[in-house]
Amino acid sequence: MVQDWTPASWRTCEARHQPVYADAGALDSALRELAAYPPLVPGTEAQALKAQLAEAQEGGAFLLQGGDCAESFAEFSPETIRGTALLIEAMARRLAAASGLRIVRVGRIAGQFAKPRSRELEQKDGLALPMYRGDIVNGLAFDEAARRPDPERMFRAYGQSAAALSHLRAVEGPEPIYTSHEGLLLPYEQALTRRDGAGWYASSAHFLWVGDRTRFAASAHVEYLRGLTNPIGIKCGPTLGPDLLRALLDTLNPGREPGRITLISRMGADVERGLPPLLRAVAAEDHPVLWACDPMHGNTERTASGYKTRPLGRILAELRAFFAATRAEGVRGGGIHVEMTGRDVTECTGGADPVTEADLAARYHTHCDPRLNRGQAMEVAELVAAELAKARGAEAA
Ligand code: PEP
Ligand code: CO
């Protein structure tokens, strides 16, 4: 058992990016009800994923993590779930063929509903309303009623997660797709924390990660993750230095358990400056981690017409830089983390069948960040396949 930890001990720490619910009584009764619901995933499956991530750390497997930036209630359909699952499968097959490795498939799916936002308020037409924080919290529409945080939304998120999980089990191929999301909305995560065997598990997904905005020292999010038995991720952006990373690893994996920690580099154009000191610090401490690359979150820009987009060229450039930086330090680049959808969206620019800035308006459906469409995601897979084939060649030589 982890010392001095309970599913509620995060409440004594600083919790950033949490909604303020107007009706505390309604929130309490929602959380009490959720706490009596069945777990969405069993601890044994989280444990199985952890074993596969440990294998990836050893070089026998590679992590492919991907899906929506923010799942939404409106886009929920069997086609959407199936589209993401089949895209993960197609990418995984390409990567497996090039590398000979087992590909660990993890979706940003069945629970990825809460978003950190850089501002508290959104201003439009002289009106200031709370920012949209994901469908589990409030609605995207710019009106006062929709933007009010509503605890009842947690039930809809739970129900959609359960249905998505059940549909994933029906459509998936021979390899199971595991589920993951940012463990952001702490009251919800606490309500779904379950004792299973010897440990405590987040039962909302197999894998939770802490975001780049909430991984500071003494963070409530870090405190919550500390006591879980699940495998977890830490987003590593340009403002993360080696000292804080070492402290986070000591807090979150004091026993240096293999498979427990995935470090997700999201440096944007800063890979050469930001990543090597982190790679060295972790290696020097002998902390077992899996290094993965999220080439999306450091490469977001806004077009003149106001769309948030990401040029595929920059995404591919960050992936290349990530594999070069890890190779140079003798560290395995062991996974990728991407925002993508099987739907034919126009959200990121570029690609072999290029999406131009003028095309963005045509099928821009995301509720938060721009996602790769199927063709763009397969181009990412192609580049990673080439990198893995190169690494395989170097090992054989
Ligand atoms: C995300 O993964 O959706 C996200 C918000 O990422 P980050 O914390 O790395 O900015
Ligand atoms: Co995002």
**Mean pLDDT confidence for 86-100:** 97
Q: Residues 232-259: pLDDT tens digits?
A: 999 999 999 999 999 999 999 999 999 9
**What pLDDT score does 173 carry?**
64
List pLDDT tens digits, range 276-322: 999 999 999 999 999 999 999 999 999 999 999 999 999 999 999 99
pLDDT at 174 over 70: no
The residue ranking higher by pLDDT, 197 or 102, is: 102
Note the pLDDT of residue 354. 96
CA-wise closest residue to 382 among 99, 95, 106, 105: 95
* DSSP symbols for 92-114: HHHHHHHH-PEEEEEEEBSS---
User: What percent of the chain has a predicted confidence (pLDDT) above 70?
Assistant: 99
Measure 197 CA to ligand 1 centroid, in angstroms: 31
- In this prediction, residue 3 has a pLDDT band, given cuts at 50, 70 and 90, of confident
β-pairing, 207-210 vs 232-236, is parallel
Per-residue pLDDT band at 52 (split at 50, 70, 90): very high
Q: Is 170's pLDDT higher than 70?
A: yes
- What is the pLDDT at residue 171? 82
Q: Which residue has the tokens 């950033």?
A: 16
CA 211 – ligand 1 centroid, Å: 5
Point out the ligand nearest to the CA of residue 215.
1
Which atom of ligand 1 is found nearest the CA of 69? 3
By the 8 A CB rule, do 90 and 105 touch?
A: no
pLDDT tens digits for 13-51?
999 999 999 999 999 999 999 999 999 999 999 999 999
Check pLDDT > 90 for residue 394: no
The protein residue whose alpha carbon is closest to atom 4 in ligand 1 is 211
Q: Which residues' Cβ are closer than 6 Å to ligand 1?
A: 69, 116, 182, 211-213, 235, 237, 266, 297
SS3 (DSSP) at 166: helix
**Ligand nearest the Cα atom of residue 237:** 1
Q: How far is the CA of 137 from the centre of ligand 2 (A)?
A: 16
Report how far ligand 2's centroid is from the alpha carbon of 338 (Å): 9
Give the model's pLDDT for residue 198: 82
Distance 371 CA to ligand 1 centre (A): 13
- Give the mean pLDDT of 203-212: 98
pLDDT tens per residue across span 215-226: 999 999 999 999
What number is the average pLDDT over the span 203-211? 98
- CB contact at 8 A, 266 and 212: yes
Q: How confident is the model at residue 134 (pLDDT cuts 50, 70, 90)?
A: very high
What are 325-336's pLDDT values in tens digits?
Answer: 999 999 999 999
Please state the atom number of ligand 1 nearest to the C-alpha of residue 264: 9
Q: Which ligand number lies closest to the CA of residue 371? A: 2
pLDDT tens for 378-388 read 999 999 999 99
For residue 371, give the nearest of 109, 149, 159, 137 by alpha carbon: 109
pLDDT at 153: 98
Tell me which residue has its CA closest to atom 10 in ligand 1.
212
pLDDT of residue 397: 80
Residue nearest to atom 8 of ligand 1 (CA): 211
Confidence of residue 396 (pLDDT cuts 50, 70, 90): confident
62 confidence band (pLDDT: 50, 70, 90): very high
Q: Would the pLDDT of 175 be above 80? A: no
Q: Tell which atom from ligand 1 comes closest to the C-alpha of 211.
A: 8
| Per-chain mean pLDDT for the chain | 96
Residue 196 — φ and ψ, nearest 5°?
A: -145, 110
Per-residue pLDDT, 1: 65
**Cβ(177)–Cβ(85) under 8 Å?**
yes
Average pLDDT estimate for 56-74: 97
CA of 367 from ligand 2 middle (Å) equals 10
Q: Ligand 1: distance of its center to the CA of 298 in Å?
A: 9
Contact 287, 254 (CB under 8 A): no
